[in-house]
Structure 1
Amino acid sequence: MLDRLEHALRARPELPAVLTTGRGGAPRVRATRGELAEQADAYAAALHARGLRAGDTVGVAVRPGPRALAVLLALWRLGLRGAVLDPCVGPEVLRARLARARPALVLADAAAQAVAGWAAAPARRARLELPDLAALGGPVATVGRRLPWCAPALERDAPRTGVPARFDGDGDAVIVFTSGTTSRPRAVVHTRASLAAGMESVSALFTGARPGEPVLGGTFFVLVPSLTRGAPVALPARSARVLARQLDRLRPRDTYLTPPQLRDALAAGARLGGRVWTGSAPAGAGLLNRVRDAGADEAWGVYALTELFPAAAVESREKAAFTGSGDLVGTPLPGVRAERDAAGQLLLAGPAARDRYLGEERDAWVRTGDRARLDGAGRIVLEGRCKDMVLRRAQNIYPGLYEPSLHVPGVELGVLVGVPAGDGDERLVAVVQPQRGVPEPALRAALSGPLRRMGTARPDALVFADVPLAGRSRKPDRAAASKLAAAALYQGKGGTR
């Protein structure tokens, strides 16, 4: 599909490709189809001129939007592997991920570099923190506007002669880090074949997308299929009020927002239409029904993982009619196979499944970490999570990444747990057990720095209490700790940020 997208962009270069929000929610053209194709050409020529060849790894720290899409197209054309670098995970975690991916070059926009430089202090308050990319030893190049503090710009005037028209073959396409420890980060590796299959699956869901009719959504899995069909894509406004006005002015036929975005937009009085899709976090029947009450013709919940996107989908009416226990997430999409292991964990496989985890052997089956069953109609019904992951506002948070930071002098034991916050979302709570005789104010001060450096994994609340233990090995009982944290929060005993 990425190959088809390149041809589609050049066929009607004058048409809008990516829209943003102007005054009053009115759409504004951010990039035309021709500008997007030209930007991808320039990036491909510059990367080729730097000696990068098929199979090399390029780190990408670029905000979502047309520039990031142009980078993806350039990497795709040359057969390069992109390692996604998220500036929101905290410097220690990101430093470990860079060491694991070992990119030959890091592409970063000015905003990402500002987080690591002059804007570090305000960025930390906004939960963004990067290590100094240049200090890590690898070369860094700026894409987009270069400001005084930035690394040298990626050449935009590199010669176009000798640049391959298109890499022809399979191979690794992208690395997306998901979990693991700072000593051994775990990362999903998608090949060109699995990435293409995932985009084809999304395209099959968006069957109603028409040339010229805008689609609202910000992920690559929305941008690529929609632009390939000739539909411009509007990036969702960050403000809920502006997003509500954007929806009213744009009236998209297809809308893809995360459950938190939908909740915020509905709270701001948004009116919806056409088909609305939501995923990246649980979407209960109540939320989907509210979407339809707000004017949508259809409201779909999409079950997807980094390892396999998308896996299943369910429409609000079907979900509301489900009376069994558990969370109905729908019938596996074409090509997706679903089974359970002996412990009841859901296993998935299919053309869109990741090839492997970085540094590990290939495995056809994705172990989702979700307990599930398949009903008589072959639909997937989730019954809870097998792993310790906390899901907050569509972000996967893995406690094992951050719990070591809680163990400052004076802390006996500390864990991060999720507390249900309604409609599938969770609050992240740090339960910290002080050593005997250590006053809580002193511990709170000692923890302020480590908590701040957790970035978007920073807990919503800090609870001082004895951490429950269980089993012969006396490991922390996370279920009991979650109940303890919930009681403390709802009784007003939990300290907030």
Structure 2
Amino acid sequence: MLDLLDHALRSAPERPAVLGATLTGHVRVRATRGELAGLADAYASSLYARGLRTGDTVGVAVRPGPRALAVLLALWRLGLRGAVLDPGAGPDVLCSRLSLARPSLVLADATAQAVAGWARPLAARARLTLPDLAELAPVATVGRRLPGCAPALEAARTRIPVTDHGDGDAVIVFTSGTTSRPKAVVHTRSSLSAGMDTVRALFSAHPDEPVVGGTFFVLVPALTQGAPVALPARSPRVLSRQLHRLRPQGTYLTPPQLRDALRAGAPFTGRVWTGSAPASAELLDRVRKAGAAEAWGVYALTELFPAAAVESRQKAAYDGAGDLVGTPLPGVEARTDDAGELLLAGAAARHRCLGDDPDPWVRTGDRAHLDAAGRIVLEGRCKDMVLRRAENIYPGLYEPSLHVPGVELAVLVGVPAGDGDERLVAVVEPRPGYTEQQLRTALAYPMRRMGSARPDALLFAPVPLSGRSRKPDRAATAELAAVRLR
């Protein structure tokens, strides 16, 4: 797919590729197809001149857009492995992920560095953030530099030989684990291409008609088919104006983005797709009433994207127990184990988790069953994962940092916030002799370092325990938090 995209960009270099929006919703071209191809060539040449070769790992902390897509194309061309880094995860988690991936270089834009607050420490091998870590990769800034940023990725015009990279690793995406042992999903070149092929078949974009979406799995297939892609505006009001002016043939937004856009009075056209978080039949129906010809919910995981899809009318017609997410897409196999956990396999499935042996079956962490028509019906999550505004938050990453002096026990739980979303709540049990104010002061610093996983609420109460081992009862803790927050 990425080879096809590279060819498609060069065949019509004057046509728009990536679009943005002004505050009034007017369309502006952020990059033409030729500019995108040229940027990818420049990045590939620079990386090759630095000595990076097939199989090397490059960390990537670049916001979605033309530069991020050009970086992906450059890594693909050189056979490099990209490790996707989220600066919002907080410096401790970020550094543990860097130490596991061991990239030869980290590419980061100025905004990503500023948001993370680790521009200077990481440029100095992160000694101020994690002083016991001996080595971290050097950093190069992609795009405009700001004060305190790492040096820019230098320009080069090195000729790159044509090489068959085989089916090596293409990308690493971190999903869960603990700070001491992060979990990293590894996709090969073939699994990444298979996932994008499936998305291309789902979207089936027409040339020259705009598509709205910000993820690689929207950008790459749509551009390959000749459709320009508009990055969705962050402001719901601007997004509403953007959708009104573009009248896109297809739109991909997360459920929180859809809810915000609907509240802003956004009109929809063509087919609308949503994923990354549960989408209720009611939400999809609201999208159709706002003008969409079709509204689809996509069931996908980092380990296998996409796995299934369901249109709003089919979802609304389902009256059984559980959440219907649709028939497995072509090439996807689905079954459940004895405990009822959903297992998936297929060409688009990840190859392995970093440090583990390959396994064709992906454990989703979701309880489910297959109905008589072979459709996947979810029954709840096996994991402790909390889903907030389309972001997966894994408590095990952050709970240890909450155990400051004076804390007997601390648990992060999700409390339903409506329409599939959750609030993240920290329930902290004080040790005798410590006041709530003392603990609030002590917890302020570790909570600041949690980045985008910072809790929505902090409650002080005894944490319920269960079982012979007296482990925290997360379900009971979530119920406690829900009652206290009413």
TM-score w.r.t. length of structure 1: 0.94
Q: Matches of residues 251-400 of structure 1 in structure 2 within 5 Å?
A: 251-400=247-396
* 2:33 paired with 1:33: yes
State the shift of 1:439 in Å. Answer: 1.0
Where does 1:82-161 land on structure 2 (aligned, <5 Å)? 82-115=82-115, 132-136=122-126, 137-156=136-155, 158-161=156-159
Please give the per-residue CA displacement for 1:438-462, whole angstroms capped at 9, x wherever unaligned: 1111111111111111111011111
Q: Determine helix, strand or coil for the equivalent of 2:434.
A: coil
Q: Provide the rounded CA distance (Å) in 1 between the counterparts of 2:338 and 2:371.
A: 17
**How far is 1:160 from its partner?**
3.4
How many Å apart are 1:115 and its aligned residue?
3.6
Query: Is the CA contact 2:54–2:165 (under 8 Å) kept in the aligned structure 1?
Result: no
Change (3 A) 1:436 1:168: closer
> Bigger shift: 146-155 or 277-286?
146-155
Contact 1:419 1:482 in 2 (8 A): yes
Counterparts of 1:210-221 in structure 2 under 5 Å? 210-221=206-217
Superimposed CA distance per residue, residues 115-160 of structure 1 (whole angstroms, 9 cap, x where no aligned partner):
455xx7xxxxxxxx9953432342111111233422222122x123
**Matched residue, 1:123:** none
**Pairwise CA distance, 1:12:** 0.5
Deviations 1:203-240 (A, max 9, x none): 01012x11110000000000000000110000000011
| Aligned counterpart, 2:13 | 13
Cα distance in 2, alignment partners of residues 172 and 410 from structure 1: 45
When the two chains are superposed, the root-mean-square deviation of aligned CA atoms in Å is: 1.2
In structure 2, relative to structure 1, the CA distance for the partners of 1:421 and 1:436 (3 Å cut) is same
In the other structure, the counterpart of 2:188 is 191
Indicate the residue corresponding to 1:200 in structure 2.
197
Amino acid at match of 1:479: A
Deviating runs (4+, > 3 A) in structure 1?
165-168
Structure 1 distance, partners of 2:309, 2:120, is: 36
Conserved 8 A contact 1:91-1:131: no
1:69-115: CA deviations, max 9, x gaps? 00000000000000011101000000100000000111111122334
Contact 2:415 2:425 in 1 (8 A): yes
Instruction: Quote the offset at 1:380 in angstroms.
Output: 0.1
Q: Which runs of 5+ in 1 are unaligned?
A: 121-128, 491-497
Match of 1:75?
Answer: 75
Query: Matched residues in 1 for 2:85 and 2:98: separation?
Result: 8
Q: CA deviation at 1:422?
A: 1.1
How far 1:22 moved relative to its partner? 1.5
Per the alignment, residue 132 of structure 2 pairs with none
Instruction: Report the Cα distance in structure 1 between the residues aligned to 2:11 and 2:198, rounded to whole angstroms.
Output: 24
Q: Find 2:432's aligned residue among 431, 436, 446.
A: 436
Moved more, 129-138 or 417-426: 129-138
Secondary structure at the aligned position of 2:89 is classed as: coil
Give yes or no for the alignment of 1:401 onto 2:397: yes
**How many residue pairs are counted as aligned between the two chains?**
477
Instruction: Specify the alignment match of 1:484 in structure 2.
Output: 480
Corresponding residue to 2:222 among 221, 226, 237: 226
CA distance in 1, matches of 2:249, 2:56: 39
Distance in 1 between residues matched to 2:294 and 2:120, nearest whole Å: 40
SS in 1 for 2:192: helix
What secondary structure, in the 3-state scheme, does the structure 1 residue paired with 2:364 have?
Answer: strand
Query: 1: distance between equivalents of 2:344 and 2:290?
Result: 34
Indicate if the aligned counterparts of 2:13 and 2:33 stay in contact, CA closer than 8 A. Answer: yes
Separation in structure 2 between the aligned mates of residue 166 and residue 36 of structure 1, nearest angstrom:
22
Residue number among 161, 167, 170 corresponding to 1:173 in the alignment: 170
Q: Provide, for residues 172-194 of structure 1, a one-character-per-residue CA deviation record: whole Å limited to 9, x for no partner.
A: 00000000111110000000000
Could you tell me which amino acid in structure 2 is paired with residue 375 of structure 1? Answer: D
Contact 2:287 2:295 in 1 (8 A): yes
Aligned with 2:52: secondary structure? coil
Cα distance in 2 for partners of 1:112, 1:227 equals: 25
In the alignment, the residues of structure 2 paired with residue 321 and residue 231 of structure 1 have an alpha-carbon distance, to the nearest angstrom, of 33
Which of 454, 457, 466 is 1:470 aligned to? Answer: 466
The question of whether the paired residues in 1 share the 8 Å contact of 2:398 and 2:450 is answered with yes
Change (3 A) 1:166 1:10: farther
CA distance in 2, matches of 1:152, 1:231: 35
| Equivalent AA in structure 1 for residue 251 of structure 2 | T
The whole-number CA distance in structure 2 between the counterparts of 1:244 and 1:336 is 35
Instruction: Give the partner amino acid of 1:178.
Output: T
Q: Look up the equivalent residue of 1:134 and give its one-letter code.
A: A
Gaps of 5+ in 2: 127-135
Preserved CA contact (<8 Å) 1:109 1:144: yes
